[in-house]
Amino acid sequence: MERQTVGVVGLGLMGASLCKALRRAGHTLLGADADGHVLQYALLTDTVEKELTEENAGTCDFLFLALYPGAAVETLKKLAPRLRRDTIVCDLCGVKRSVCPPCFALA
């Protein structure tokens, strides 16, 4: 598989684990977290290569939302205008009823 650029919002247990696996597979990882200390730790430990920002979100081939449902929807509302039409977005939320309908409207 060719090297892909992957954005991950939420660098807790699930998000950071995903980043580590994808980095081992050779992909470029951009990460964001509401807690600046968590983001800095992810950068220092090479879990992600760069911070994911609104400005570079358009470079992502994939975007994973490892957040609580409400935060996932709000984050996608903010980033959707910046994403390419072919970017694949995936949430890691455990519930879908509060996430899928509002996110489908953004697709």
pLDDT tens figures, 41-98 = 999 999 999 999 999 999 999 999 999 999 999 999 999 999 999 999 999 988 777 7
Long-range CB contacts (< 8 A, 24+ apart) of 20-25?
20/47, 23/47, 23/48, 23/49, 25/1
Split at pLDDT 50, 70, 90, the class of 36 is very high
Residue 5 has pLDDT above 90, yes or no: yes
pTM above 0.85, yes or no: yes
Chain Cα centroid distance, residue 86: 15
Report the DSSP beta bridge partners of residue 89. Answer: 63
Residue 1 has pLDDT above 80, yes or no: no
Q: What are the structure tokens assigned to 49, written together?
A: 């290569």
Residue 12, φ and ψ in degrees, nearest 5: -80, -155
Is residue 19 a contact partner of residue 29, using CB atoms and an 8 Å limit?
yes
